[in-house]
Structure 1
Amino acid sequence: MVTVRPAQPTDGEALVAVHVAAIRELGSSAYDDEQIEAWAAKKDPSGYPVEEETAHFVVATRDDDVVGFGHLALDAAEIRAVYVHPDHARDGVGTTILEHLERTALDAGLEDLSLLASKNAVEFYERHGWTSGEWVDHESTGGVTLECLWMEKSLPG
Structure 2
Amino acid sequence: MYVRLATHEDRAALPALHTAAVEAFGPDGYDADQVRKWAKADERSPDDYDVDATDEHFTVAVRESEVAGFGHLVLDAGEVHAVYVHPDHAGRGVGSALLAELEGYARGRGCSVLTLQSSLNAAGFYEKAGYERVGESESPGGLAVVEMRKEL
Q: Distance in 1 between matches of 2:136 and 2:118?
A: 9
Structure 2 length-normalised TM: 0.96
Q: Distance in 2 between matches of 1:124 and 1:87?
A: 17
Figure out how many residues of one structure are paired with residues of the other and give that number.
150
> Partner of 1:146 in structure 2?
143
Q: Distance in 2 between matches of 1:44 and 1:36?
A: 18
> Partner of 1:104 in structure 2?
105
1:21 Cα deviation from its structure 2 partner = 0.4
Structure 1 length-normalised TM: 0.93
Q: Which runs of 5+ in 1 are unaligned?
A: none
Q: For each residue in 1:51-89, what CA deviation from the matched residue of structure 2 results, as whole angstroms up to 9, or x when unmatched?
A: 100111011001220000000111111000000001111
RMSD: 0.8
Q: Distance in 1 between matches of 2:148 and 2:58?
A: 20
Q: Distance in 1 between matches of 2:37 and 2:11?
A: 20
1:5 Cα deviation from its structure 2 partner = 1.1
Q: Which runs of 5+ in 2 are unaligned?
A: none
The percent of aligned pairs where both chains have the same amino acid is 43
SS in 1 for 2:110: coil
Q: Distance in 2 between matches of 1:91 and 1:60?
A: 11
Displacement over 3 Å in runs of 4+: none
